Amino acid sequence: MLGSLTPGQQFIGVVHRELKTLLAKYSGGFNLPLPATVLLVGLQGSGKTTTAAELVTIKRKLKPQTVFLVVDSMTGQEALNVAKTFHERLGLDGVIVSKLDGDAWGGCILSIAGGLGVPIRFVGETPDDLEPFDPDRLSRRILGQGDVVGLAEKAREAFDQRQAERLQKKVIKGGFDLEDFSEQLRGMKKMGRMADLLSMVPGMRQFAGSAEGMDRGFKRALVIIGSMIPDEHRHPNIIKGSRRRRIAAGSGTTVADVNRLLGQYRSMAKAFDGLSGKKGRRMMRRLGIDPSKLGDVLPPGF
């Protein structure tokens, strides 16, 4: 198998292994007594690290069990100087890295972990995004190999299992409507920014620049669907000219926006309809999915 790899692939493999080893050396779990006092420190905007002296007194008064530094990944290698100053004054137990998008954040983590030896504990910007630091997944993302495992975990958290099972039955039997489409959009929105999601798919980081427009599109689509009546959700085919004008006016969009949304819905519905025939069965097998394992949701003779 090694003989079939190109020199470039072998080189990437070596870099990935070394990155993983370096990052794993300065990561790992930790245990805190409960309840615990955690001191979060960091800079606001372009603040000065001299403020760490306002913090020495606070630490002495609070006696926290652990001290975490929160750094913006976009500071790049400068994060090392910030972390060094805080570590000298307060004794850091770990670092939380936020704003994990773009190409700069890899340098931030490598600088702190390799240059200072302070463990990276968590990554993420908001409480919903926060996740334990994983050296293997991060090194793959730095090298543009994606993080499909992390993407799957986000999807599992964003989509309710019962809703997924209900949708599966509707997809197999037919009847995917705008309510289902709306659920999918809300789930995608809940997973996070499209720029972050695309960076987790191998080879898709190059499209992250256009992701902001996709995020706006999700919001616009949900507003348009929210301006429809339940009967229109369940029977999208009844949405003709006058209804489209009413929906556009109610959602603060244009008829063209409504038409675009309905076109996107029809494309997804058509793709789902294809799963209920023989071609769909062959496609699922090519994807490694055994249709017979779908159980009772399959119609007779599928």
pLDDT at 228: 94
pLDDT at 297: 39
Checking if the pLDDT of 88 tops 80, the result is yes
Residue 48 is classified by DSSP as -
What architecture is domain 156-297?
A: Orthogonal Bundle (1.10)
pLDDT at 130: 80
Q: How far apart are CA 78 and CA 20, in angstroms?
A: 22
Q: Which residue has the higher pLDDT, 119 or 293?
A: 119
Q: Give percent of the chain above pLDDT 70.
A: 71
Q: How far apart are CA 285 and CA 291, in angstroms?
A: 7
Report pLDDT digits (tens) over 165-196.
777 777 767 678 898 888 888 888 888 777 77
Angle at 165 between CA 164 and CA 166, to 5 degrees: 90
How many Cβ atoms are within 10 Å of 83's Cβ, its own excluded? 24
pLDDT at 1: 45
pLDDT at 260: 92
Domain 2-145 maps to which CATH number in 3.50.50.60, 3.30.565.10, 3.40.50.300, 3.40.50.920?
Answer: 3.40.50.300
Instruction: Give the closest residue to 54 by CA, choosing from 90, 78, 30.
Output: 90
Is residue 120 a contact partner of residue 95, using CB atoms and an 8 Å limit?
yes
Report pLDDT digits (tens) over 47-57.
555 666 778 88
Cα–Cα distance list, 193 to 154, 215, 218 (Å): 11, 7, 11
Q: Give percent of the chain above pLDDT 90.
A: 16
Q: How far apart are CA 22 and CA 136, in angstroms?
A: 10
What amino acid occupies position 94?
G
How many Cβ atoms are within 10 Å of 254's Cβ, its own excluded? 13
pLDDT at 302: 34
- Confidence grade of residue 245 (pLDDT, cut at 50, 70, 90): very high
Q: How far apart are CA 296 and CA 291, in angstroms?
A: 11
Q: What's the average model confidence in pLDDT over 275-297?
A: 58
Domain ranges across the chain:
2-145, 156-297
Residues, the chain: 302
Q: Which two tokens stand for residue 112?
A: 């702190």
Angle at 131 between CA 128 and CA 134, to 5 degrees: 160
Checking if the pLDDT of 300 tops 90, the result is no
Q: How far apart are CA 41 and CA 93, in angstroms?
A: 11
- Confidence grade of residue 251 (pLDDT, cut at 50, 70, 90): very high
pLDDT at 145: 63
pLDDT at 204: 66
- Confidence grade of residue 16 (pLDDT, cut at 50, 70, 90): confident
274: alpha, beta or left, given left = phi > 0 and alpha = psi -120 to 50? alpha
Checking if the pLDDT of 96 tops 60, the result is yes
Checking if the pLDDT of 266 tops 70, the result is yes
Checking if the pLDDT of 123 tops 70, the result is yes
Checking if the pLDDT of 2 tops 70, the result is no
Q: End-to-end CA distance of the chain: give it in Å, rounded.
A: 39
pLDDT at 50: 62
Q: Give the dihedral sign, CA 194/104/140/2.
A: positive
Whole-number average pLDDT of the chain: 77
Angle at 194 between CA 24 and CA 168, to 5 degrees: 100
